[in-house]
């Protein structure tokens, strides 16, 4: 399954929707798309992963790398995840303590808004 990233680059916080599996095959696409969409901004970012049915360690690595670069630039990134299988990966790796994770986009917007 291919991955796609969409969203408006004009909003603050920047809200991006990711669709598709995040694995070794699609992670380079995700990395490039996130870099392109966030290029000119030190934004606060909501990354909506509700349409991501599968996430492996390579996908996690892309998210950690992007979080680090955003925080170094003075921004922040939070995640929206409602899939137990995907949430489990964050829990197993301890990344649920690194990322702020919300169960809905509205909840994330209220917190970052």
pTM of structure: 0.91
Indicate the helix (H) or strand (E) that contains 83: none
Give the count of beta carbons closer than 10 Å to the beta carbon of residue 57.
Answer: 12
Is the pLDDT reported for residue 110 higher than 70?
Answer: yes
Q: Mean pLDDT, to the nearest integer, of 80-86?
A: 96
Task: State what percent of residues in the chain have pLDDT above 70.
Answer: 96
User: What pLDDT does 1 receive?
Assistant: 66
Distance CA(71)–CA(110), nearest Å, equals 20
Instruction: Name the residue among 82, 2, 74 with its Cα closest to residue 38.
Output: 74
Q: Mean pLDDT, to the nearest integer, of 20-35?
A: 90
User: What pLDDT does 40 receive?
Assistant: 61
Whether the CB-CB separation of 85 and 108 falls below 8 Å is answered with: no
């Amino acid at each position: 399954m291919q991955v796609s990233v969409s969203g408006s680059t004009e909003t603050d916080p920047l809200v991006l929707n990711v669709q598709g599996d995040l694995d070794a095959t699609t992670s380079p696409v995700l990395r490039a798309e996130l870099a392109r969409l966030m290029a000119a901004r030190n934004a606060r970012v909501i990354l909506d992963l509700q349409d991501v049915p599968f996430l492996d360690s390579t996908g996690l690595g892309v998210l950690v790398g992007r979080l680090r670069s955003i925080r170094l630039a003075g921004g922040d990134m939070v995640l929206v995840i409602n899939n137990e299988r995907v949430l489990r990966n964050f829990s197993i790796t301890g990344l649920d303590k690194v990322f702020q994770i919300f169960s809905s986009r509205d909840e994330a917007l209220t917190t970052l808004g």
